[in-house]
């Protein structure tokens, strides 16, 4: 249990760790590309370690070393899918950014693959992705409950053609399918169905595929044409930009208790949709300044509001804790997929916010938060969810302070989080 006592001010700058979403995509694309790729500033965390370990088991040759920019991974690409003589079991923890893309890539590879993970992973759906892959000829079997991992995959050729995929539960299903389709035997027209979520993450995937030499034709927001029988090409060196989701905790600290807090590694030039978090803080009353690769936030008189945060569901959790320091209620809607993340985040956030004295209404797709007159000291459960631990760190700016259980769950994406966070906190 980590006790965070009252800090009256936030000020300073933070060099963000590399984006998990970009790192795991880039690791996989580099492994399938022709040529050697040098990935710089790769996030060294549980989730990226699961991807790297899986690639090693799949026969990918790579070396890694730490330098001044972080972790450097030098990968020898396979110029296509994976091929193993026998079978491989890949343990992927609770890393959705490893489980979903590898499911698609291995369905188009040669060999027998068993994909396993932590118990929570077996509660996170993967059915829409499997359904789409099966329509293209994939041989995938559920080992426990239908629609969920663990999976047994007999690699085969994907046929291409036309396929639809439900994009209402997770954009990762769409991203995984898109990244695997260049391995198909022909071009594929992909149609997205359902109420789409996290669209910026799909755009992020398309941008990365382009960096690795595959141009996807985007007809509109629901239709894509992916070239088949295509080979990813190494870009040579690729630098993973800072994690915009992780930036949210520091930017919110500036909005609540700044001073000025500056994050370096994301900004106007960022590929990530979560940079829009700063725009929400500005709407709430914070002072925001933008650069190409940095964002600065200073304190303002924060006001609650009504926000549709479908496009930035991870960073949206930070708005929920920031709401405790705002005047008036805050309503967060259109984030149903919180329920499908590392934990049921809607229920978890409602439960833990109430411990502070807040009045919280839990909807099917969001929360309404009425801040208390005085924030109470709370012992916050984290549900083995890194973002629960990080977003509740903001309660250090309440005079009562906060206690956070199982704070080491941050190792999933940001092992040095509390060290970096404490560096911007002052009395």
170 marked as part of a ligand binding site: yes
198 marked as part of a ligand binding site: yes
172 marked as part of a ligand binding site: yes
Q: Are 353 and 376 in contact (CB under 8 A)?
A: no
> Alpha carbon of 153 to those of 112, 388, 401: distances in Å?
6, 33, 48
218 marked as part of a ligand binding site: no
299 marked as part of a ligand binding site: no
Calpha distance 305→326 (Å, rounded)? 9
Q: Are 182 and 210 in contact (CB under 8 A)?
A: no
25 marked as part of a ligand binding site: yes
Q: Are 71 and 62 in contact (CB under 8 A)?
A: no
387 marked as part of a ligand binding site: yes
Phi, psi torsion values for 32, nearest 5 degrees: -90, -5
Structure tokens at 316: 């949206």
Buried b (16+ CB within 10 A) or exposed e, 3-34: ebeebebbbbebebbbbbbbbbbbbbbbbbbe
Q: Is 314 an annotated catalytic residue?
A: yes
272 marked as part of a ligand binding site: no
327 marked as part of a ligand binding site: no
Q: Are 264 and 293 in contact (CB under 8 A)?
A: yes
Structure tokens at 1: 């249990």
Residues 6+ away with beta carbon under 8 Å from 175: 25, 100, 101, 201, 202, 204, 205
Calpha distance 187→226 (Å, rounded)? 6
341 marked as part of a ligand binding site: yes
Choose, from 47, 274, 314, 385, the residue flagged as catalytic: 314
339 marked as part of a ligand binding site: no
Calpha distance 392→374 (Å, rounded)? 16
Calpha distance 90→67 (Å, rounded)? 28
Q: Are 320 and 294 in contact (CB under 8 A)?
A: no
Residue whose C-alpha is closest to residue 426's, from 280, 188, 260: 260
229 marked as part of a ligand binding site: no
**Which residues participate in the annotated binding site for phosphoenolpyruvate?**
20, 96, 124, 172, 345, 387, 412
**Which residues participate in the annotated binding site?**
20-21, 25, 96, 124, 170-172, 198, 314, 337, 341, 345, 387, 412
**Which residues participate in the annotated binding site for 3-phosphoshikimate?**
20-21, 25, 170-172, 198, 314, 337, 341
Tell me the catalytic residues: 314
């Amino acid at each position: 249990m980590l006790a965070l006592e009252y800090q009256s001010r936030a000020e300073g700058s933070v060099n963000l760790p590399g984006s998990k979403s970009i790192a795991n995509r880039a690791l996989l694309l580099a492994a399938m590309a022709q040529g050697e790729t040098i990935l710089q500033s790769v996030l060294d965390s549980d989730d990226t370690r699961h991807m790297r370990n899986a690639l090693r088991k799949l026969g990918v040759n790579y070396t890694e070393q730490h330098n001044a920019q972080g972790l450097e991974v030098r990968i020898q690409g396979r110029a296509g899918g994976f091929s193993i003589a026998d079978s491989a079991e890949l343990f992927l923890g609770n890393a959705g950014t490893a489980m979903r893309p590898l499911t698609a890539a291995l369905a188009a590879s040669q060999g027998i693959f068993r994909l396993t993970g932590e118990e929570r992973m077996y509660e996170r759906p993967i059915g829409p992705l499997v359904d789409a892959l099966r329509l293209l000829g994939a041989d995938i079997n559920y080992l426990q409950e239908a629609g969920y991992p663990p999976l047994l995959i007999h690699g085969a050729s994907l046929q291409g053609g036309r396929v639809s995929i439900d994009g209402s539960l997770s954009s990762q299903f769409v991203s995984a399918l898109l990244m695997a389709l260049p391995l198909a035997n022909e071009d594929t027209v992909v149609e997205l169905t359902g109420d789409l979520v996290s669209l910026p993450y799909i755009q992020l995937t398309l941008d990365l595929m382009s960096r690795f030499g595959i141009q996807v034709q985007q007809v509109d927001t629901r239709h894509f044409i992916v070239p088949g029988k295509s080979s990813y090409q190494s870009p040579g060196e690729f630098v993973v930009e800072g994690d915009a989701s992780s930036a949210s905790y520091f930017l919110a600290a500036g909005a609540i208790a700044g001073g000025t807090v500056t994050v370096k590694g994301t900004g106007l030039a960022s590929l990530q949709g979560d940079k829009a978090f700063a725009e929400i803080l500005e709407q709430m009353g914070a002072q925001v300044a933008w650069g190409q690769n940095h964002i600065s936030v200073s304190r303002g008189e924060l006001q609650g509001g009504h926000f549709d945060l479908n496009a930035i569901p991870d960073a949206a959790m930070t708005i929920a804790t920031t709401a405790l320091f705002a005047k008036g209620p805050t309503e967060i809607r259109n984030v149903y997929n919180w329920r499908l993340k590392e934990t049921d985040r809607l229920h978890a956030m409602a439960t833990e916010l109430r411990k502070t004295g807040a009045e919280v209404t839990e909807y099917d797709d969001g929360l309404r938060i009425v801040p208390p007159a005085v924030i109470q000291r709370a012992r916050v459960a984290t549900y083995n969810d890194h973002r629960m631990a990080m977003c509740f760190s903001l309660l250090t700016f309440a005079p009562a302070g906060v206690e956070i259980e199982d704070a080491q769950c941050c190792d999933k994406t940001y092992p040095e989080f509390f060290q970096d966070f404490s560096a911007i906190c002052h009395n």
